[in-house]
Chain A
């Protein structure tokens, strides 16, 4: 069974600075997808960024980028120029092709003014 680990239960960063959230996963599959979801206090799940495992190039979405290390089974999220609105829980998620998500336990990020 796949597992997703996020070793940082809580993190904080000063506004405008950069922060990196860690995620590791365990799978025997070769083809899969990885995601980062943001959950603000409203508790809605918002997709931040996604990565296909067959792509070597790291995904980037504006201030959000990932460092995908397939051999190490690592998928970290970097947030540049942090904003107050980035304060939220961040969940790393793994998905085999055509199957359901497996989520990590989450990292609570606080952006400080």
Chain B
């Protein structure tokens, strides 16, 4: 069964550094999402992406964040200058088509900012 994959599974970085989290959505999916889960808290929406542009973003998704689909398979989340409070689990998800509503989640990347 096709699945969403994410790399790395765990990333440790120093405050102020840039990180790129990578996701490979399911191949025929058209909609892509990033969510964040701070330890012990609920999962929060960050951004959705369709047709090579951001379709929606939350208040969390400020100027330090950016997303990109650099080729036909990868979907990346860049955090330009990491802060301690960016430490969280980051989930990528994808959805097939306008008529499909289910989002498939990847296993997550645990980001630790020290």
A→B interface (CB under 8 Å)? 33, 37, 42-45, 47, 50, 52, 91, 93, 95, 97-106
Contacts and interface: CB of A to CB of B under 8 A. Distances in A.
A43 B98 contact: no
B43 A91 contact: yes
B102 A106 contact: no
B51 interface: no
Given A103-B42, A105-B41, A50 B102 contact: yes
B108 A44 contact: yes
Given A43-B110, A44-B108, A45-B91, A101 B43 contact: yes
Contacts of B89: 43
18 contacts: A33-B101, A37-B105, A43-B37, A43-B108, A44-B105, A44-B108, A45-B105, A47-B102, A47-B105, A91-B42, A95-B101, A97-B101, A98-B98, A98-B101, A100-B56, A101-B35, A101-B45, A103-B44
B82 to A, nearest CB: 20
A99 B44 contact: no
Interface residues of B, number: 20
Contacts of B42: 91, 103-106
Nearest 4 CB-CB pairs, A to B?
Answer: A45-B105, A100-B45, A103-B43, A105-B42
A101 B101 contact: no
Contacts of A42: 107
B56 A44 contact: no
Contact of B48 (A33, A37, A100, A106): A100
Contacts of A43: 37, 89, 108, 110
B25 to A, nearest CB: 15
Contacts of B105: 37, 44-45, 47
A64 to B, nearest CB: 16
B66 interface: no
B75 interface: no
B94 to A, nearest CB: 12
Interface in B10-69: 33, 35, 37, 41-45, 48, 56
